[in-house]
Structure 1
Amino acid sequence: MIRILTMTFFILLLSVISSKGQTDFRVMSYNVENLFDTEDNPLTADEEFLPSGNRHWTGGRFYHKLQQVAKVITAAGEWSTPALVGLCEVENDSVLVRLLHQTPLRLQHYRYCMTHGEDTRGINVALLYQRDKFRYLGHAEQPVRFTRKQHKHTRNILHVWGEVLTGDRLDIFVCHFPSRYGGEKESEPDRFDAARTLRSLCDSVYALHPTPHILIMGDFNDTPDDISIRQILDAHPFPIRWASVPDSMRIESQTDRHPFLRLCNLFAERKTHPSGSHKYQGEWSQLDQIIVSSALADTTAAMHLVPGSARIFSPPFLLTKDKTWRGERPFRSYYGFKYEGGYSDHLPIIADFLLSK
């Protein structure tokens, strides 16, 4: 009897959703921490992640890592897996093919596209998408245009464009900005250059599509309040209170920028638990972010953000006791060089959108 009542409830719920003509569209961004295969690429510095390397990266550990990543994506979807998943720190096509065909994700019929950049370690960014929710039209990758290190190598920015069920075009950017290796301030100019490159790409979309639906996600290695994000990329807390943005926080072109090209950072000024997606030396930081154009933040539009839906996905299985700094920390694959068999040093983030048919 209870089973019959439960089934009846869900049928009624689905009929209500259908009658309103709305479809859920979940987006997820996740730095998966060194998703390498076990094969040596002579063109990259991947020696650590080989069976003979100092991390002893075996086929068994690689297979376990694939299952862990699949588990997180599946769990983050709750009722169904996310429509879009941006991934950071994936090595190559072989890794993604195995992720999508040798784990439970094979039942979700994801397709993918990824960068093939010149990062010294060989890591890239990728986008997984479900074809029944996102009609892929094309993709490109853009190297970061550095101003002080002309031959510096880092992850390219992935640009994917397509259509959603409303018929709206959606431009997606998946990013992994240069790291803080060598010091936060010393490396900061490199992230400035990455932000300038990304801002230029957004402006180019606007030049072709005056009401752009832009979705940006990834690991920025900076917080929402840092200069690269708040000033150069020009991404402000959602909802934007533009009149309250001081002149000192604007770049020259902002005063003339059309409202449709303003960017809203869904993870700025948010009070969450935990208080960030990454923990370093006992401090949480919101390095992972989802940023949208103002058209996607308009709740009257056919495709729009569900207010308050952006959050860090932090179920208990993704956390472990922090014995060094107290509290909890992400349950990682490696803690230093010690193999933990966990998931990642980052927590994933998600946001929901509604598509009105």
Structure 2
Amino acid sequence: MDELRSDYRILFYNVENLFDTKDDSLKNDAEFLPQGKKFWTWKKYQDKCSKIAKVIMAVGGWELPEIIGLCEIENKRTLNGILYATPLKKARYKIIHKESPDHRGIDVALLYQEDRFFPLDTLFLKLTYDGSDHSTTREILYVKGATHTDDTLHLFVNHWPSRWGGQLESEYKRLAAANLLRRKVDSIFNQCSKAKIIIMGDFNDYPNNKSLSKTLKASVPNKEFKDNDLYNLASFLEKNNSIASHKYQGVWGMLDQFIVSGALMNANGILQVQPKNMHLFAPDYLLETDNSYKGRRPFRTYIGYKYHGGFSDHLPIYLDLWRALDDEK
């Protein structure tokens, strides 16, 4: 963690299956019950909530992150477990969440400090495939809000469909997600070409995959930025790091990303970002020796059905926003 804390910090974290221990008859959560295949107990649940809270506090530096995007949380009860049954109970976070149609019951959510962010509009974008009106996956969360610096931010929290069954076989689902997100982004730009947009999430695709580079049109950051274009900061981070946010069969990959509009990099307002301002949070306690391949890997909660006692199979990412006068930092 850098010693110099930015003016505004946004965290995104895929927390790897944060389920409570209660049965939800409308969701496929049976394996995460005390009598389920993973023997998910109250003690394990409490420990995981404490671990997530530890990460949030550590990422904040000398102040907690102003905004937190989360995915793979089961419901609002688990969010309360993070916020009110851990040392974070003294923090002043508010929750934006709703139950999604995801068949496993995992959702996305946004937490925010009520004196640093003021929501103006919230929308859950329903993702469907092949013309169907029925959805079986989590929505994309959109929140428009004002910061304490009077900047207006358009925030999106994503957890796109997985690669289960194969990357190519499942690609149409992520292309649908990218189309849905792009349509909303275009509607925002049509109203304001200098809109400050921040897209965060686990996209289950890499920055150079078609869904992100072609359909969403998120470009590699360069030296000049167009206000109403999108730029994938993860592609910059990927080139300058030996590890990434996720490791699969011994290969690190940047599934977790921040994508921003050029207006945020052109100092249109008080807060701004530069490509170097996206960071991977990878302290030693979030990693372990990779005995199957080489190097290290995320210290996760489960390996298959075996309880491993770690944090998550993803590493957190965070984005620093600086006041325009501090752009030299």
- Structure 1 length-normalised TM: 0.86
Determine which of 61, 65, 89 is the counterpart of 1:78. 61
Partner in structure 2 of residue 318 of structure 1: 286
User: Hey, what's the Cα distance between the residues in 2 that align with 1:276 and 1:79?
Assistant: 25
Listed as ranges, the matches of 1:82-121 within 5 Å are: 82-121=65-104
Does 1:136 pair with 2:103? no
Q: Does structure 1 residue 353 correspond to structure 2 residue 329?
A: no
Determine helix, strand or coil for the equivalent of 2:178. Answer: helix
- The 5 A counterparts of 1:1-357 are 24-147=7-130, 151-239=134-222, 259-270=226-237, 271-299=239-267, 301-355=269-323
Q: Is the 8 A contact 1:236 1:263 kept in 2?
A: yes
Q: Please, which moves more after superposition, 146-155 or 223-232?
A: 146-155
Distance in 2 (alpha carbons) for counterparts of 1:162 and 1:294:
18
Q: Distance in 1 between matches of 2:223 and 2:70?
A: 27
Letter in 1 for 2:112: Y
The SS at the match of 1:193 is: helix
1:176-223 CA distances to partner (integer Å, 9 max, x unpaired)?
000000111000011000000000111111223332111100100000
8 Å CA contact 1:115, 1:158 repeated in 2: no
Contact 2:106–2:138 (CA under 8 A) maintained in structure 1: yes
Tell me the alpha carbon deviations over residues 319-353 of structure 1, each in whole angstroms, 9 at most, x when there is no partner.
00111112110000111111111100000011100
Whole-angstrom CA distance in 1 between matches of 2:8 and 2:177: 28
The number of aligned residues is 322
Q: CA offsets per residue over residues 45-70 of structure 1, 9 Å max, x none?
A: 00010001010000000000000000
Q: How does the TM-score come out when normalised to structure 2?
A: 0.93
**Letter aligned with residue 99 of structure 2:** H
Aligned mates of 1:116, 1:205 — CA distance in 2? 25
Structure 1 gap ranges (5+): 1-9, 18-22, 243-258
CA contact (8 A) 2:128 2:176 kept: yes
**Where does structure 2 lack aligned partners over 5 or more consecutive residues?**
none
3-state DSSP of counterpart to 1:261: coil
Matched letter for residue 230 of structure 2: L
Deviation sequence 1:288-309 (CA, Å, 0-9, x none): 0001111111146421014512
The aligned amino acid for 1:338 is K
**1:74 maps to amino acid:** M
CA distance in 2, matches of 1:353, 1:44: 38
| Aligned residue identity for 2:82 | L
Pick which of 200-209 and 277-286 moved more. 200-209
Measure the CA separation in 1 of the matches of 2:53 and 2:46.
11
1:255 match: none
Please report how far the alpha carbon of residue 140 of structure 1 lies from its aligned counterpart in structure 2 after TM superposition: 1.4
Q: Whole-Å Cα distance in 2 between the matches of residues 175 and 311 of structure 1?
A: 18
**1:149/1:320 Cα in 2 relative to 1: closer, same or farther (>3 Å)?**
farther
CA contact (8 A) 2:127 2:135 kept: no
SS at match of 1:289: strand
| Matched position secondary structure for 2:235 | coil
Deviation at 1:119, TM superposition (A): 0.4
Pick which of 71-80 and 132-141 moved more: 132-141
SS in structure 2 at match of 1:88: strand
* CA distance in 1 between partners of 2:261 and 2:223 (Å): 11
- Amino acid paired to 1:351: L
Once residues 132 and 28 of structure 2 are traced to their aligned partners in structure 1, the CA distance between those partners, rounded to angstroms, is 20
